[in-house]
């Protein structure tokens, strides 16, 4: 049986969801028999491949590059998963949303040249950090800050069994 | 004694009791948010909506509708779950509810309702309003970002403490809970500092100073504990 092609990506988040994923510990070995990691911050592959079965997206979408990459990845992916609260709700990155973009950047960088205000050498900061489903179609939502490893495991097992994982009770919880 | 049916189970209520009272006595769970034992019901949040079969499927808030003879009540159905989840999503979309960062994370009625009603994301666009936090009071703070306008603080202050410090100002999504007609809480001349509003608050909107993320536990049952020992006139 061919391995399931899994990818993950890290946008506006703290990498805590990826850390929690690594907390699968010995279960990673079992996972490795069933899936192939084709793109991720934890593997050394630079290009997002064309045919990905499952993509776990950590983080909100906070700048133009992230928005572009998410749209491209969506096109090349069968099942896109909002992985963790930032991807599902905007969470901590969205704390800046009530404040004007220019005010946020000036507060951080002071007067003079402010990176991210316009499209340039660094991507433009979007007016608000948004959850994934504000930009692309999201197939599954895995909330939690971060989702605990056990919850990720329940979710992945359901997904790999070809089912639609229904998180309930303690496995469906924000924060 | 009034006889009615809730989810096809026979239920009973005393005159003056509500559909919610009857459901609880019969062991039928109906989710609530603005309702709090000891406080007058207001039917503000609409999470306890139930369907009355013999009123042509009319939706009524269980907390504020008197139990009546012969009512055939649907308390749980796919339609009601969908309606309640929509209401919950609107509450989450209205202000900045960021669980991970909240003093009440893990002890929050709004957060628990998301789990109970199976809300895995919010389908409405978030409003991300710019709202203030008032930390001028010596012991407590109010963060409007986390307020759901249930009015439990307003009623606890008026009906149990009798201080009438809290009130609503503004309309619709712009409504704010305010102390003494809009003064800073710390300058309020009516606030007794009793903290009943904080204990009544279902979210992290009202909190005790010194509590950090996930440390703020509430005791909403405190209000009934007080009123049961002090019968109403």
- Does residue B212 form part of some domain? yes
Residues of chain B with C-beta less than 8 angstroms from the C-beta of A147? none
Q: What would the mean pLDDT of B87-110 be, rounded to a whole number?
A: 97
What's the complex ipTM? 0.94
**Are B217 and B172 within one domain?**
yes
**Are B216 and B123 within one domain?**
yes
CB contact under 8 A, B105 and A90: no
**Are B203 and B145 within one domain?**
yes
> Can you give the CATH number for the domain in which A85 is found?
3.40.50.700
**Are B71 and B128 within one domain?**
no
For residue A123, what are the CA distances in angstroms to A108, A114, B129, B144?
16, 12, 25, 33
- Does residue A143 form part of some domain? yes
Nearest to A125 by CA among A41, A8, A40, A11: A11
Residues of chain B with C-beta less than 8 angstroms from the C-beta of A128? 128
Average pLDDT over chain B, rounded to an integer = 96
- Does residue B81 form part of some domain? no
Distance from CA of A78 to the nearest CA of B (A): 20
CB contact under 8 A, B96 and A169: no
CB contact under 8 A, A172 and B114: yes
Which structural domain, as residue segments, surrounds residue B18? 2-76
Residues of chain B with C-beta less than 8 angstroms from the C-beta of A98? 96, 128-131
How many structural domains comprise chain B?
Answer: 2
Q: pTM score > 0.90 for this model?
A: yes
Distance from CA of B196 to the nearest CA of A (A): 26
**Are B136 and B215 within one domain?**
yes
- Does residue A46 form part of some domain? yes
CB contact under 8 A, A145 and B120: no
**Are B174 and B211 within one domain?**
yes
Per-residue b/e over A104-132, b at no fewer than 16 CB within 10 Å?
bbeeeeeeeeeebbeeeeebbbbebbbbb
Q: Which among B99, B102, B128 has the least Cβ separation from residue A94?
A: B128
> Can you give the CATH number for the domain in which B203 is found?
3.30.70.20
- Does residue A120 form part of some domain? no
What is residue B230's predicted lDDT score, i.e. its pLDDT?
A: 65
Which structural domain, as residue segments, surrounds residue A22? 4-94+128-167
A54-82 per-position pLDDT tens digit: 999 999 999 999 999 999 999 999 999 99
**Are B6 and B114 within one domain?**
no
Question: Does the pLDDT at position B231 exceed 70?
Answer: no
């Amino acid at each position: 049986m061919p391995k399931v092609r899994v990818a993950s990506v890290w946008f506006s988040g703290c990498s805590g969801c990826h850390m929690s994923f690594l907390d699968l510990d010995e279960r990673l070995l079992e996972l490795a028999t069933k899936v192939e990691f084709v793109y991720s911050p934890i593997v050394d592959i630079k290009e997002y491949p064309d045919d990905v079965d499952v993509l776990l997206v950590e983080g909100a979408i906070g700048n133009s590059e992230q928005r572009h990459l998410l749209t491209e990845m969506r096109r090349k992916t069968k099942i896109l998963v909002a992985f963790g609260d930032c991807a599902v709700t905007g969470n901590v990155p969205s704390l800046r949303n009530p404040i004007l973009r220019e005010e946020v950047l000036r507060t951080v960088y002071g007067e003079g040249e402010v990176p991210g205000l316009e499209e340039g050498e660094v991507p433009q900061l979007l007016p608000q950090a948004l959850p994934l489903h504000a930009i692309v179609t999201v197939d599954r939502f895995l909330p939690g800050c971060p989702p605990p490893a056990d919850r990720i495991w329940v979710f992945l097992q359901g997904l790999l069994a070809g089912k639609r994982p229904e998180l309930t009770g303690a496995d469906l919880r924000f924060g | 004694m009034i006889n009615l049916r809730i989810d096809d189970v026979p239920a009973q209520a005393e005159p003056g009791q509500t559909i919610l009272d009857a459901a609880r006595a019969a062991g039928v769970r109906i989710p609530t948010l603005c309702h709090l034992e000891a406080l007058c019901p207001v039917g503000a949040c609409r999470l306890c909506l139930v369907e009355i079969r013999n009123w042509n499927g009319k939706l009524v808030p269980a907390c504020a509708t008197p139990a009546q003879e012969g009512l055939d009540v649907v308390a749980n159905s796919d339609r009601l779950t969908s309606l309640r989840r929509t209401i919950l999503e609107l509450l989450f979309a209205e202000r900045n509810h960021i669980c991970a960062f909240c003093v009440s994370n893990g002890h929050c009625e709004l957060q628990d309702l998301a789990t109970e009603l199976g809300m895995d994301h919010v389908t409405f666009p978030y409003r991300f309003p710019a709202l203030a936090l008032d930390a001028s009071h010596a012991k407590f703070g109010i963060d409007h970002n986390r307020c759901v306008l249930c009015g439990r603080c307003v009623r606890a202050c008026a009906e149990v403490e009798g201080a009438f410090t809290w009130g609503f100002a503004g309309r619709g999504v712009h409504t704010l809970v305010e102390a003494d007609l809009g003064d800073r809480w710390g300058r309020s001349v009516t606030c007794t500092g009793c903290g009943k509003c904080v204990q009544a608050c279902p979210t992290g909107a009202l909190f005790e100073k010194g509590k950090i993320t996930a440390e703020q536990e509430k005791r909403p049952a405190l209000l009934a504990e007080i009123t049961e020992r002090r019968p109403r006139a």
